[in-house]
Structure 1
Amino acid sequence: MAETTGQIDIFEMFAEVAADDQARHEKIHGVPSLFASTTRGPAARLAEFHAWQSTWGNFDSYRTSHALIPGTCEPSQPTATCQPTSLWAGLHCSCTWTLREKTCHCVGGNLHRAACTGCDWEGENRADSDEAVCDALDHAHPGWLDDLAIEIPDRPHEKTARWSTKVTAMIGDRPQGWPVITRRAEGHVGNRCVPDRSPWGGYDVAAAVARAHLDRQHRSTHLKTTPTKGSR
């Protein structure tokens, strides 16, 4: 019994030392941010975030860690081929919670970035999650926007075998993970890109979102090909 008590005391002492060391680190340096991490890949980023949580705790961990991780409903498991997903990071201010006595440089809001479950590729930072998904589709399924001309007019609440058969008959067969472009009601707020809703297990992308992405591509191409003043 005495040995057991002694062991418990030692463990408690180690825990107190670790807690003091962590508190000292927080006071001097603040809680470490994962936003600038060089880790790539949704699964690897999630593993890094969970390791961060085991050290710094779960409370407010999304905001405090500033980690780029897959959204709750976004694909995150590794795949044999390139498949699209999107990451997000909560960049809201966490200075008050960490008690850092220095000027706040937090930018606020959420940030999104395209990613791939089949490789370590990541896209540019975006303010909108749907834009990030479209970037990821460009990477994983080049040419997906060609289907915009045959957008699907009726989008059921749930994906059914009958609907999938109808879509495949209209569009033709597509590779695994290919998206479907559907028409949503004008002005409807439900334009979010929904994973695993196409007949091929890919995203369901609102036609309005796809058109906006295509317009951005055209503007970007125009800016790159238009000579600037003084460049001639």
Structure 2
Amino acid sequence: MRAMILAAGRGERMRPLTDRTPKPLLPVGGLPLIGWHIRRLAAAGITDLVINHAWLGEQIEAALGDGAAFGVRIAYSREGQALETAGGIATALPLLGDAPFLVVNGDVLTDVDFTILAERAESLDGTLAHLVMVDNPAHHPAGDFGLLADGRLSTNPADGVSLTFAGIGVYHPALFADTPPHQPAKLAPLLRAAMADGRVGGERHTGLWLDVGTAERLAEADAIAQHWAR
């Protein structure tokens, strides 16, 4: 199974920290933020990784290389400009293959069990996506989608349990069949269309999940990861 780490964002809310350093390389607990994903993916036996990048992407390649230092193999999907989530994934499809794959946002800190998600990928069975959902954080109280009792997701957060998309999911390549590569495209419209057909499942993660989107949350992530590094 392959996994993709999304690392092409500019990190506007983190400026000036991200003016000279891409957000995935900001230090957290003695590692670049993206390094924790790579380490956890490797521990789950997922060692073929794709990383997309745009802003200061050459720094990401210089820091991570071919992945050997982490025990993984990294291929890079280079974007001249950030292509949004769906556009970035569609552009990277030739590197991801024909089987379902895992995607994780590069700017979150989490203890999600990637081993379980790898198992989800093997049993999509007609489902186009399986998303990790978390309780609605204070900065996003309305939530994104509703988790229904049968494990499917609804576009209406008022249906079932209102939760926030964690930026972590398993996708079938068919979800991106009509998304042209090398062009910006958002993921949410694709997911909503698939949800309307009952083809998106989800699960609630109750462990650690932190959207490292501000300098304050970066400091919080650093404090948490300092304990992991011991």
State the TM-score, normalized to the length of structure 1.
Answer: 0.29
Q: Which has the higher strand share?
A: 2
State the TM-score, normalized to the length of structure 2.
Answer: 0.29
Q: Which has the higher helix share?
A: 1
RCO greater where, 1 or 2, for CA within 8 Å and sep 6 or more? Answer: 2
Q: Tell which structure's C-alpha radius of gyration is larger.
A: 1
